[in-house]
Amino acid sequence: MDRTRIMVVGGGAGGLELVTRLGRRLGRRGKAEITLIDRNTTHIWKPLLHEVATGTLDSSIDEISYQSHAQLNGYRFQRGTLEGLDRDARQLRLAPVLDDHGQEVLPARTLDYDLLVLALGSVSNDFGTPGVSEHCHFLDSPAQAEAFRHDMLNTFLRYSDPERRHHPRLTVGIVGAGATGVELAAELYDASRMLHSYGFTEMDSRHLEVHLIEAAPDVLPALPERIRGAVRTELERLGVQVHTGTRVVCVEQNAIVTADEARIETDLNVWAAGIKAPDMLRELGLTLERNQRIKVEPTLQSVDDPNIFVFGDCASCPQPDGSVVPPRAQAAHQQAQRLYKNLLARLDNGTLKPFRYRDRGSLISLAHFEAIGSLMRGASARSLFIEGRLAKFFYASLYRMHQRAIHGTAKTALILLSDGLNRFIRPRMKLH
């Protein structure tokens, strides 16, 4: 009897956790053929990309090879980018894989599936703002984070020569004061201090100017007021110039122009304002909702095809109160757990259960300076405000939970020990 072919497109946090569970339960036992498809060869937890961008996290150490992880956990890995879908034939099309010189490495392929899972995540939404794609860095992938890091290091080096400076201080403009923008702003001040301590540049944080620009009335608009206020106070203490209620109308090579005709001169620009599902989802013939998210049933099945499941940032999943699940890492983690159980039920001809999102709180890390957030407690969903070392502990535990889901408890414990040793052996910052 042929094994059921389950294809998961997207190896982000949720996708990798899902195939790991399915591979261990079904793939190793020959009960199903589990395949993960991703355009990249390695995985890194997306909430850490702002640390990769400043060099405080070395992606070459923390990244996970899909190929080796697949071999260890009972699933297969195929490198490729989803290009099209034939729902009647249950086939998906992958675009050719090209090298850095445009030469074909892998040809275009057509793969058959019985059950398809889309976990394609999200990308930054520039809302059609002129100049953004040409003059801004994005932090949607490890490659983009590394590109920013190289540009940042080169800019610090250039500013070491007073004759090559464009402005009195090295100036970074960050558009979008969500979690990514806020955490990146703090990391930049930490990075500047480390670069100075290593002798990489004569400049330190006093020579850095960061502008954080947000169209909403306050930073972190989706979070509770107490967190917003505490975070803004800490950012301003670091020296970040916070511009709220400020809409960007265009971006130039060395400037950000706002709706009130203000012109902020910059050396580096980062766009972290808003997200949307990838544009290619419009080509799949599935019903889309706001920001191109695929409309799904509460069971995480597409409203158009019960053989296609969608979760994470690219899914618009309804909740009993009329809301939809927010595009957050904790939501993808919870959905991966529910979808794992639903797929097992589907294979056993059982009943699929609806997904119910549980808000576990919000945590923001401001480099080594501070961590602030809230934890949800009790059936009444009352929040507990935390900050300082306790908040840092819980923030770090989110990544450890992800590692435990994809590596298991024993290996995660060894990774934790290795990370502790690396703090003494390796530089605190990637300088090359």
pLDDT at 368 over 80: no
58-72, 84-98, 296-310, 311-325: which has the minimum mean pLDDT? 58-72
pLDDT at 380 over 50: no
Q: What is the mean pLDDT of residues 125-141?
A: 94
Confidence of residue 381 (pLDDT cuts 50, 70, 90): low
In this predicted structure, what is the pLDDT of residue 198? 86
Model confidence over 16-57: pLDDT tens digits? 999 999 999 999 999 999 999 999 999 999 999 999 999 988
In this predicted structure, what is the pLDDT of residue 341? 97
pTM for the full model? 0.91
Share of the chain above pLDDT 90, in %: 72
Confidence of residue 215 (pLDDT cuts 50, 70, 90): very high
Q: What is the mean pLDDT of residues 182-191?
A: 94
Q: Which carries the bigger pLDDT value, residue 301 or residue 48?
A: 301
Model confidence over 394-404: pLDDT tens digits? 888 888 999 99
Q: What is the mean pLDDT of residues 217-221?
A: 93
pLDDT at 195 over 50: yes
In this predicted structure, what is the pLDDT of residue 379? 45
Q: What is the mean pLDDT of residues 148-175?
A: 87
Model confidence over 221-259: pLDDT tens digits? 988 899 999 999 999 999 999 999 999 999 999 999 999
91-95, 134-138, 383-387: which has the minimum mean pLDDT? 383-387
In this predicted structure, what is the pLDDT of residue 304? 97
In this predicted structure, what is the pLDDT of residue 164? 74
In this predicted structure, what is the pLDDT of residue 382? 67
pLDDT at 1 over 70: no
Three-class secondary structure assignment of the chain: CCCEEEEEECCCHHHHHHHHHHHHHHHCCCCEEEEEEECCCEECCHHHHHHHHHCCCCHHHHCEEHHHHHHHHCCEEEECEEEEEECCCCEEEEECEECCCCCEEECCEEEECCEEEECCCCEECCCCCCCHHHHCECCCCHHHHHHHHHHHHHHHHHHCCHHHCCCCCEEEEEECCCHHHHHHHHHHHHHHHHHHHCCCCCCCHHHEEEEEEECCCCCCCCCCHHHHHHHHHHHHHHCCEEEECCCEEEEECCEEEECCCCEEECCEEEECCCEECCHHHHHCCCCECHHHCEEECCCCEECCCCCEEECHHHEECECCCCCECCCCHHHHHHHHHHHHHHHHHHHCCCCCCCCCCCCCEEEEEECCCEEEEEEEECCCCEEEEEECHHHHHHHHHHHHHHHHHHHCHHHHHHHHHHHHHHHHHCCCCCCC
Model confidence over 165-185: pLDDT tens digits? 777 889 999 999 999 999 999
Q: Which carries the bigger pLDDT value, residue 380 or residue 399?
A: 399
pLDDT at 13 over 60: yes
In this predicted structure, what is the pLDDT of residue 122? 93
Confidence of residue 352 (pLDDT cuts 50, 70, 90): very high
In this predicted structure, what is the pLDDT of residue 377? 55
Among 2-16, 45-59, 202-216, top mean pLDDT goes to 2-16
Q: What is the mean pLDDT of residues 333-346?
A: 97
